[in-house]
Amino acid sequence: MGRTVQPKEIKMALTEEIVQDKIEIVGDFKHVQVRTATVIKRDGVEISRSFSRHVVAPDADITGESTEVQNICNVVHTQAVKDAYAAHLAAQEV
């Protein structure tokens, strides 16, 4: 009869890392565009990377943003920018 071969157990470490890898300031109203990368690694070697994006407007609540994004928003979202953005939105409603 044939010999039974026991399968060899292979252990791999899968890890997931989430990083904000790109932060851009765009447009007249200094919208802050944030790209977040989700990186999957097997034994320390990247096997997958996917992206998501979101935009932070001058009138947005930034309390849920990372410290880095909050710091950028606090610099670029001056009161003048916030006022101009509010006026722009009001003009759109007319």
Of 21, 20, 12, which is closest to residue 44 (Cα–Cα)? 12
Strand partners, 54: 34
Dig out the tokens for 72 from the structure. 């950028």
CB within 8 A of 29, min separation 6: which ones? 57, 58, 81, 84, 85, 88
**For position 1, what pLDDT does the model report?**
59
Q: Is the pLDDT of residue 43 over 70?
A: yes
**For position 4, what pLDDT does the model report?**
75
Model pTM? 0.80
User: Does residue 85 contact residue 58 with C-beta atoms inside 8 Å?
Assistant: yes
pLDDT confidence bin for 87, thresholds 50/70/90: very high
Q: Is the pLDDT of residue 70 over 90?
A: yes
Q: What are phi and psi of 21, to 5 degrees?
A: -100, -5
pLDDT confidence bin for 12, thresholds 50/70/90: confident
**For position 2, what pLDDT does the model report?**
67
- C-alpha 44/C-alpha 31 separation (Å) is 35
Q: Is the pLDDT of residue 94 over 80?
A: no
